[in-house]
Amino acid sequence: MSTKFLITRAFSVQLDKEDALASFRKEFLFPTFGKRTTYFCGHSLGLQPKKTKELMLTELNDWSTWAVEGHWKATNPWLTYHQSFAKPLSVLTGAYPDEVVAMNSLTANLHFMFASFYRPAGKKIKIITEAWNFPSDRYALESLVKLYGYDPKKVIIELKPAKKNTQLSTEEICACIEKNKSTVALVFFNGVNYYSGQAFDMAAITQAAHLAGAFAGFDLAHAIGNINLHLHDWKVDFAVWCSYKYLNGGPGAVGGAFVHQQHGHDKTTPRMAGWWGHDQNTRFNLEGGFKPLSGAAGFQVSNAPIMNMVGLKASLDLFMEAGWPAISKKRNTMFGYMLFLIKALCTNDHKKQFSIQIITPTLANTHGCMLSIRVHQQKGKELFDVLLKKGFMLDWREPDVIRIAPVPLYNTYQEVYSFVLELSKHAVLVEK
């Protein structure tokens, strides 16, 4: 793979020719919206793997053939269907297979994990989180502390960077944890912020939380299948995610959770229990007396939503075939290429209607594949509308940001080139 980028279209063609993952593009279905469109919205909803339909038909056929017996006799028996996710999810999260489980949905999993890992005691009742958390996470945190009778404004510390228009630094986060060490019970961040695309230093945040005697948990909605994760080695206590973004599981697909072995192997770890988390040897004795399975599986509550897992299965097969190191390498190259082109082409050589600023941190390990661009003009959404009209499916986040995610498994360098070329006709890059 070439390392020094050039601004010619021919160079983007060359990059595609050298792309070790190029063949995976044909494994996905691309929406056309009635005309040829470049899809850069994998951060919101990943594309459908072609295999999904076939796998879905298998389940529908097995259901009609076997009905209840499908739990044992289906092509992929439903009783154990969820277990096939342990291996690939462990690869993507840097975990042991027994530390991960596909279950529920993201915000539901947040509530389940908070029930286990928010254990206010004495003065230690506070939660440190980022101010620009996704709203669902904020609602979950607020409702959690209210359940304990606390005032969210007094108990939840929402951290903002000291300097306006900058990103939260690891130092600022760790200093805040240290400063509140006598009162903090839980530190909860995103792996990658949904708005800015900033990837947080989860190892450092976890270490600081533990030094302060608090648990550390992460929302990996924008991180899983996007950035390198080493949850076990980082000693993260818990994490949750959805599977409909970079994991291409389909709208509302089953979510997932990580519970560190330290807690997963401890049967006394508090939890909200249900029969699917119960010891599988005695699950069907249908008796009282909850005996948790060891590991993250012991945090399941309900039987597996098979139809909601099929898309994830199809996609994870592709992830495993492609191999995480190759995906991770292409993500960095594509991101670097897009950045290079924006800097090289969005210059002030003639009058342009919009000025843009990159708000995603660009140093290694501080971002995933998504780049967020702030548009300075009041009618900034018009830039988004122009790009959409030209066939680029991006997304607009109020009040002023366009998010663009070239996804290694299905996007091409030529798409990145065409996008930046179009962007450069309308926008000039400015520092602030």
Ligand X SMILES: Cc1ncc(COP(=O)(O)O)c(C=O)c1O
Q: How far is residue 29's CA from residue 42's CA, in Å, rounded to a whole number?
A: 13
Q: How far is residue 307's CA from residue 316's CA, in Å, rounded to a whole number?
A: 15
Can you spell out the DSSP letters for 179-202?
HTTTTEEEEEEESB-TTT-BBP-H
| DSSP SS3 for 393 | strand
Helix (H) or strand (E) holding 420: helix 413-426
Q: How many residues bind ligand X (CB under 6 A)?
A: 12
**105 near ligand X, rule: CB under 6 A:** yes
Q: How far is residue 398's CA from residue 220's CA, in Å, rounded to a whole number?
A: 22
CB of 243 to ligand X, least distance (A): 9
CB of 253 to ligand X, least distance (A): 9
For the window 21-40, what string marks contact with ligand X as x by the rule CB under 6 A? --------------------
> Could you count the other beta carbons within 10 Å of the beta carbon of residue 214?
27
Residue (98 or 219) nearer to ligand X, CB? 219
Which one of 105-113, 322-330, 339-347, 384-392 is the stretch in contact with ligand X (CB under 6 A)? 105-113
Residue (246 or 319) nearer to ligand X, CB? 246
Residue (245 or 331) nearer to ligand X, CB? 245
Q: Which of residues 116-145 bind ligand X (CB under 6 A)?
A: 134, 136-137
Q: Phi/psi at 38 (nearest 5 deg)? A: -95, 125
**358 near ligand X, rule: CB under 6 A:** no
Helix (H) or strand (E) holding 13: helix 9-18
| DSSP SS3 for 422 | helix
Which one of 67-75, 104-112, 178-186, 334-342 is the stretch in contact with ligand X (CB under 6 A)? 104-112
Angle at 15 between CA 11 and CA 21, to 5 degrees: 165
Which one of 34-42, 103-111, 403-411, 418-426 is the stretch in contact with ligand X (CB under 6 A)? 103-111
CB 122 within 8 A of CB 259: no
Nearest C-alpha neighbor of 236 from the set 262, 213, 269: 262
Alpha carbons within 13 angstroms on the beta-carbon side of residue 189 total 27
Q: How far is residue 76's CA from residue 352's CA, in Å, rounded to a whole number?
A: 56
Q: How far is residue 110's CA from residue 239's CA, in Å, rounded to a whole number?
A: 8
CB of 278 to ligand X, least distance (A): 25
User: 349 CB contacts (<8 Å, ≥6 apart)?
Assistant: none
Residue (227 or 242) nearer to ligand X, CB? 242
Residue (310 or 428) nearer to ligand X, CB? 310
Residue (111 or 210) nearer to ligand X, CB? 111
Residue (105 or 116) nearer to ligand X, CB? 105
CB of 178 to ligand X, least distance (A): 26
Nearest C-alpha neighbor of 404 from the set 341, 326, 348, 317: 341
Residue (158 or 266) nearer to ligand X, CB? 158
Task: Give the relative orientation of helices 51-66 and 310-322 as an angle to the nearest 10 degrees.
Answer: 140
Sole binder of ligand X in the list 107, 206, 226, 315 (CB under 6 A): 107
**104 near ligand X, rule: CB under 6 A:** no
Helix (H) or strand (E) holding 61: helix 51-66
Q: Which of residues 213-272 bind ligand X (CB under 6 A)?
A: 219, 221-222, 242
CB of 249 to ligand X, least distance (A): 11
Q: Which of residues 156-215 bind ligand X (CB under 6 A)?
A: 190, 194
Residue (131 or 320) nearer to ligand X, CB? 131
CB of 222 to ligand X, least distance (A): 6
CB of 77 to ligand X, least distance (A): 27
**106 near ligand X, rule: CB under 6 A:** yes
Residues that bind ligand X (CB under 6 A): 105-107, 134, 136-137, 190, 194, 219, 221-222, 242
